[in-house]
Amino acid sequence: MSATSLPPRLRVVVMMAPGLMREGTLRVLELARQVIASLTVVDDLLTLRQTLSQGGADVILTGLSGHRDRLRDFFLFYSHYLRFNIDTTWLLYSEPLTPLLTTLSPLAPHEGPLCLPHDLQPHLLHDLLQKRQAMSHLAFMNSDSFPRMPANIVLSWPELQVLSHFVCGALEHLTTSTGGFTTKTLSAHKRSAMRKLGVCCDQQLHALLHGSRLCPARRSPDVVVSQG
Protein backbone atom coordinates (compact mmCIF):
# COMPACT_ATOMS: atom_id res chain seq x y z
CA MET A 1 0.00 0.00 0.00
CA SER A 2 1.43 3.39 -0.97
CA ALA A 3 1.90 6.15 1.56
CA THR A 4 -0.80 8.25 -0.09
CA SER A 5 -3.42 5.53 0.39
CA LEU A 6 -2.86 5.06 4.11
CA PRO A 7 -5.83 6.09 6.28
CA PRO A 8 -5.35 9.36 8.14
CA ARG A 9 -3.98 9.14 11.64
CA LEU A 10 -6.26 9.86 14.57
CA ARG A 11 -6.72 12.99 16.61
CA VAL A 12 -7.08 11.63 20.15
CA VAL A 13 -8.27 13.53 23.22
CA VAL A 14 -8.07 11.94 26.68
CA MET A 15 -10.00 13.15 29.72
CA MET A 16 -9.14 11.41 32.98
CA ALA A 17 -8.40 12.55 36.50
CA PRO A 18 -4.71 12.19 37.39
CA GLY A 19 -3.91 8.73 38.72
CA LEU A 20 -2.89 5.19 37.86
CA MET A 21 -5.63 4.68 35.29
CA ARG A 22 -4.55 7.70 33.30
CA GLU A 23 -0.88 6.81 33.55
CA GLY A 24 -1.53 3.31 32.25
CA THR A 25 -3.69 4.60 29.41
CA LEU A 26 -1.06 7.09 28.30
CA ARG A 27 1.56 4.34 28.22
CA VAL A 28 -0.66 2.36 25.85
CA LEU A 29 -1.22 5.43 23.67
CA GLU A 30 2.51 5.93 23.46
CA LEU A 31 2.81 2.43 22.01
CA ALA A 32 0.06 3.28 19.49
CA ARG A 33 1.68 6.51 18.35
CA GLN A 34 1.94 5.26 14.75
CA VAL A 35 -1.86 5.66 14.38
CA ILE A 36 -2.12 8.91 16.36
CA ALA A 37 -1.69 12.30 14.70
CA SER A 38 -2.18 14.32 17.87
CA LEU A 39 -2.77 13.55 21.54
CA THR A 40 -4.30 15.99 24.02
CA VAL A 41 -4.73 15.10 27.70
CA VAL A 42 -7.06 17.05 30.03
CA ASP A 43 -8.17 16.64 33.64
CA ASP A 44 -11.78 17.78 33.59
CA LEU A 45 -14.92 18.42 31.60
CA LEU A 46 -14.44 22.18 31.29
CA THR A 47 -11.04 21.75 29.66
CA LEU A 48 -12.42 18.97 27.46
CA ARG A 49 -15.17 21.28 26.20
CA GLN A 50 -12.63 23.98 25.40
CA THR A 51 -10.30 21.55 23.64
CA LEU A 52 -13.05 20.06 21.47
CA SER A 53 -14.43 23.47 20.55
CA GLN A 54 -11.01 24.45 19.22
CA GLY A 55 -10.18 21.42 17.13
CA GLY A 56 -12.47 18.42 17.50
CA ALA A 57 -11.31 14.81 17.72
CA ASP A 58 -11.55 11.48 15.95
CA VAL A 59 -11.35 9.53 19.21
CA ILE A 60 -12.22 10.70 22.72
CA LEU A 61 -11.04 8.41 25.49
CA THR A 62 -12.32 9.11 28.98
CA GLY A 63 -12.98 7.67 32.37
CA LEU A 64 -16.48 7.93 33.78
CA SER A 65 -15.91 11.60 34.57
CA GLY A 66 -13.04 14.00 35.01
CA HIS A 67 -11.49 15.58 38.05
CA ARG A 68 -14.21 17.36 40.11
CA ASP A 69 -16.92 16.65 37.53
CA ARG A 70 -20.43 15.46 38.32
CA LEU A 71 -21.78 12.40 36.55
CA ARG A 72 -24.87 14.24 35.33
CA ASP A 73 -22.81 16.97 33.67
CA PHE A 74 -20.61 14.35 32.04
CA PHE A 75 -23.48 12.35 30.51
CA LEU A 76 -25.35 15.43 29.36
CA PHE A 77 -22.22 16.71 27.63
CA TYR A 78 -21.33 13.54 25.78
CA SER A 79 -24.94 13.03 24.68
CA HIS A 80 -25.00 16.56 23.25
CA TYR A 81 -21.55 16.35 21.69
CA LEU A 82 -22.06 13.03 19.94
CA ARG A 83 -25.39 14.16 18.47
CA PHE A 84 -23.61 16.88 16.53
CA ASN A 85 -20.26 15.16 15.92
CA ILE A 86 -21.40 11.92 14.35
CA ASP A 87 -17.95 10.81 13.17
CA THR A 88 -16.32 11.01 16.60
CA THR A 89 -15.69 7.75 18.45
CA TRP A 90 -16.03 8.00 22.23
CA LEU A 91 -14.32 5.24 24.21
CA LEU A 92 -15.56 5.15 27.80
CA TYR A 93 -13.09 3.34 30.01
CA SER A 94 -14.19 2.85 33.57
CA GLU A 95 -15.65 0.52 36.18
CA PRO A 96 -18.17 -2.38 36.03
CA LEU A 97 -21.03 0.09 36.50
CA THR A 98 -20.24 1.92 33.26
CA PRO A 99 -22.62 0.03 30.91
CA LEU A 100 -25.50 0.67 33.30
CA LEU A 101 -24.74 4.37 33.61
CA THR A 102 -24.37 4.92 29.89
CA THR A 103 -28.06 4.15 29.50
CA LEU A 104 -28.58 7.69 30.80
CA SER A 105 -28.01 8.74 27.22
CA PRO A 106 -30.91 8.76 24.72
CA LEU A 107 -28.48 8.00 21.89
CA ALA A 108 -28.80 4.90 19.75
CA PRO A 109 -26.08 2.26 20.33
CA HIS A 110 -23.97 3.28 17.33
CA GLU A 111 -24.27 6.96 18.37
CA GLY A 112 -23.17 6.58 21.98
CA PRO A 113 -19.85 5.67 23.58
CA LEU A 114 -18.22 2.28 23.36
CA CYS A 115 -17.83 0.97 26.91
CA LEU A 116 -14.45 -0.58 27.53
CA PRO A 117 -14.24 -3.28 30.21
CA HIS A 118 -12.67 -2.01 33.42
CA ASP A 119 -10.04 -4.76 33.15
CA LEU A 120 -9.31 -4.20 29.46
CA GLN A 121 -5.86 -5.48 28.57
CA PRO A 122 -3.48 -2.83 27.16
CA HIS A 123 -2.95 -4.66 23.87
CA LEU A 124 -6.72 -4.64 23.25
CA LEU A 125 -6.90 -0.85 23.56
CA HIS A 126 -3.99 -0.67 21.13
CA ASP A 127 -5.86 -2.97 18.73
CA LEU A 128 -9.03 -0.87 19.02
CA LEU A 129 -7.17 2.27 17.99
CA GLN A 130 -5.65 0.51 14.99
CA LYS A 131 -9.05 -0.83 14.03
CA ARG A 132 -10.64 2.62 14.32
CA GLN A 133 -7.97 4.16 12.13
CA ALA A 134 -8.67 1.62 9.41
CA MET A 135 -12.42 2.21 9.17
CA SER A 136 -15.12 4.83 9.57
CA HIS A 137 -16.70 5.59 12.93
CA LEU A 138 -19.97 3.91 11.96
CA ALA A 139 -18.25 0.76 10.70
CA PHE A 140 -16.17 0.63 13.86
CA MET A 141 -19.20 0.96 16.13
CA ASN A 142 -21.07 -1.73 14.19
CA SER A 143 -18.18 -4.19 14.34
CA ASP A 144 -19.27 -5.63 17.72
CA SER A 145 -16.01 -4.94 19.52
CA PHE A 146 -17.86 -5.27 22.80
CA PRO A 147 -21.49 -6.20 23.52
CA ARG A 148 -23.94 -3.45 24.42
CA MET A 149 -26.79 -3.65 26.85
CA PRO A 150 -30.35 -3.91 25.62
CA ALA A 151 -32.88 -2.36 27.93
CA ASN A 152 -35.95 -3.53 29.75
CA ILE A 153 -35.64 -2.10 33.28
CA VAL A 154 -36.55 1.57 33.63
CA LEU A 155 -34.52 3.58 36.14
CA SER A 156 -34.96 7.29 36.77
CA TRP A 157 -32.18 9.87 36.87
CA PRO A 158 -32.21 10.05 40.69
CA GLU A 159 -32.13 6.25 40.97
CA LEU A 160 -29.12 6.03 38.69
CA GLN A 161 -27.36 8.78 40.62
CA VAL A 162 -27.92 6.91 43.86
CA LEU A 163 -26.68 3.64 42.35
CA SER A 164 -23.56 5.25 40.95
CA HIS A 165 -22.66 6.73 44.32
CA PHE A 166 -23.58 3.54 46.16
CA VAL A 167 -21.22 1.41 44.11
CA CYS A 168 -18.42 3.90 44.78
CA GLY A 169 -19.17 4.02 48.51
CA ALA A 170 -19.98 7.71 48.31
CA LEU A 171 -23.69 8.04 49.13
CA GLU A 172 -22.94 10.72 51.71
CA HIS A 173 -21.88 13.06 48.90
CA LEU A 174 -25.47 13.21 47.68
CA THR A 175 -26.76 14.70 50.93
CA THR A 176 -24.32 17.62 51.02
CA SER A 177 -25.47 21.14 50.18
CA THR A 178 -24.63 20.57 46.50
CA GLY A 179 -25.76 16.95 46.25
CA GLY A 180 -29.46 17.63 45.76
CA PHE A 181 -30.76 14.85 48.02
CA THR A 182 -32.02 14.64 51.57
CA THR A 183 -31.53 11.51 53.63
CA LYS A 184 -35.20 10.70 53.09
CA THR A 185 -35.21 11.14 49.30
CA LEU A 186 -31.94 9.26 48.93
CA SER A 187 -33.36 6.31 50.85
CA ALA A 188 -36.57 6.36 48.79
CA HIS A 189 -34.77 6.35 45.44
CA LYS A 190 -32.42 3.62 46.59
CA ARG A 191 -35.31 1.39 47.69
CA SER A 192 -37.10 2.01 44.40
CA ALA A 193 -34.02 1.10 42.36
CA MET A 194 -33.44 -2.05 44.40
CA ARG A 195 -37.03 -3.13 43.89
CA LYS A 196 -36.73 -2.70 40.11
CA LEU A 197 -33.45 -4.60 40.04
CA GLY A 198 -34.88 -7.44 42.11
CA VAL A 199 -32.56 -7.23 45.11
CA CYS A 200 -33.50 -6.78 48.76
CA CYS A 201 -30.30 -5.84 50.60
CA ASP A 202 -27.10 -3.85 50.14
CA GLN A 203 -25.00 -6.99 49.76
CA GLN A 204 -27.11 -8.23 46.85
CA LEU A 205 -27.11 -4.79 45.23
CA HIS A 206 -23.35 -4.50 45.48
CA ALA A 207 -22.92 -8.00 44.09
CA LEU A 208 -25.26 -7.30 41.20
CA LEU A 209 -23.59 -4.05 40.16
CA HIS A 210 -20.12 -5.54 40.35
CA GLY A 211 -21.00 -8.92 38.82
CA SER A 212 -19.75 -10.56 42.00
CA ARG A 213 -19.83 -14.30 42.71
CA LEU A 214 -21.94 -13.43 45.74
CA CYS A 215 -24.83 -13.45 43.26
CA PRO A 216 -23.91 -16.35 40.92
CA ALA A 217 -27.45 -17.01 39.70
CA ARG A 218 -28.04 -13.43 38.54
CA ARG A 219 -26.78 -11.65 35.49
CA SER A 220 -26.40 -7.94 35.02
CA PRO A 221 -29.85 -6.49 34.28
CA ASP A 222 -30.80 -4.72 31.10
CA VAL A 223 -31.47 -1.14 32.10
CA VAL A 224 -32.76 2.05 30.52
CA VAL A 225 -33.26 5.48 32.01
CA SER A 226 -36.76 6.87 32.29
CA GLN A 227 -37.33 9.81 29.99
CA GLY A 228 -40.21 11.01 32.10
Q: Per-residue pLDDT averaged across 8-17, rounded?
A: 93
Q: Kindly state whether residue 76 falls inside one of the protein's structural domains.
A: yes
Which position has the higher pLDDT, 6 or 31? 31
Note whether 162 and 135 are same-domain residues. no
Say if 84 falls within a structural domain: yes
Asked if the structure places residue 147 within a domain, the reply is: no
Domain that holds residue 169: 153-225
pLDDT of the residue at 60: 96
Same domain, 120 and 201: no
Q: 159-178 pLDDT, tens per residue?
A: 877 887 787 677 888 888 77
Q: Which of 116, 141, 166 delimits the end of a domain?
A: 141
Cβ burial of 182 (10 Å; 0-12, 13-18, 19+) is: exposed
Give tens-digit pLDDT for 174-210.
888 777 899 999 999 999 988 887 788 888 887 776 6
Give the chain's mean pLDDT. 77
In a domain, 148, yes or no: no
110: CATH: 3.40.50.2300
Residues 158 and 105 in one domain: no
Residue 146 lies in a domain: no
